[in-house]
Amino acid sequence: MGLDFVAIDFETANHFRGSPCAVGLTRVTDGHVTDTVSTLIYQEEFDGFNILIHGITPDDVVDAPPFDVVWPELLDWIGSLPIVAHNAAFDTGVIRDALDQDGTPWPDLTYACTLVMGRRTYDLPSYRLPFVAEAAGIDFNPDLHHNAEADAELSALIMLDIARRNGASSLDDLASGLGIRLGRIADEGWHGCTVRNRPGRPGYALSASEIEVNADADPENPFFGLGVTFTGALTSMTRALAWQRVAHLGGAPLGSVSKHTNLLVFGFQDASRLTPGATGSSKFRKALALKAKGQEIEIIGEDDFLAMLQESGAIVSAD
């Protein structure tokens, strides 16, 4: 089989990951986009935060089919092809949780993640979808971000660029060349699309606070095993609450930027507290310096941090 796959993107109605309200799919055949489809999915309960992200409201889906009607059509459209998504841990989690909600057995699917593979291909301060699209030379329309059909096609184009840059003619060859294990869902269980033998993962004793890190958290959520440092003031929650949520998801909240930091989250920067002439905090500057030396640090804003919490099934409003 050549470079053949189906890229998929879900939008959800609320904090429960198994609440898909829209899905987009893009088919790639022999390295070329050949077809794209999308549909809204009926859901009753919507969270305001989710509506702010994707703009889909209860009125939009009132006449849409429910997931148990949509799913067989999606599965037929996918066929025997592997699926691709940007942050596939979220989209495949939507599939598993929505099927569990309906009491439907899991399908047998192999999948690849453009977020995981993008980190092995591009040198970026952040690997959120807009940044990776720009690195891949793809025109990104911010007005269409979180439109399921547009994001599915964007993920497909990013995967094609990743394959081209790595000289791969199939997803199996690409995964092997990047040292990545493709993910798989099957009736008997599942495993994620992950880097094999990932080095440099911090130990749980590295937490900067007294908060106990949840070692039993879902290893597929985007915070698990990461050292996370914050700089600036968050507008959505206190720093302590942000630490707690990271720790609950298996990440290690760190008080400073160091060799153990994998993710730096920056909030509002009070200019009066910066060094004269500086455009960012000392943590921000140190993260850039360590990244320039080859350390794998991703730098994201508060909006992306909240989106990652949402993808993990965490409640994002302040307690």
The larger pLDDT score, comparing residue 223 to residue 212, is at 223
The arithmetic mean of pLDDT across residues 53-57, rounded, is 95
Report which residue type is found at 116.
V
CB-CB contact of 211 with 150 (8 Å): no
Pairing mode, strands 32-40 and 227-231: unpaired
Could you tell me the sign of the dihedral formed by the alpha carbons of 175, 187, 6, 16, in that order?
A: negative
Secondary structure E strands in 217-302:
227-231, 252-254, 263-266, 298-301
Task: For 258-317, write each residue's pLDDT tens digit.
Answer: 888 999 998 876 554 444 444 567 788 888 888 888 888 888 888 888 888 877 776 554
The confidence score (pLDDT) of residue 66 equals: 97
The confidence score (pLDDT) of residue 78 equals: 97
What's the whole-number average pLDDT of the chain? 86
The arithmetic mean of pLDDT across residues 45-62, rounded, is 94
Q: Mind spelling out the 3-state secondary structure of 46-99?
A: CCHHHHHHHCCCHHHHCCCCCHHHHHHHHHHHHCCCCEEECCHHHHHHHHHHHH
Q: Which two tokens stand for residue 126?
A: 């952040």
CB-CB contact of 148 with 10 (8 Å): yes
The arithmetic mean of pLDDT across residues 121-144, rounded, is 87
pTM of the model: 0.69
The arithmetic mean of pLDDT across residues 206-217, rounded, is 66
Domains in the chain, please, with CATH?
Answer: 5-195 (3.30.420.10), 204-311 (3.40.50.10190)
Task: For 158-211, write each residue's pLDDT tens digit.
Answer: 999 999 999 999 999 999 999 999 999 988 788 888 887 544 443 333 334 457
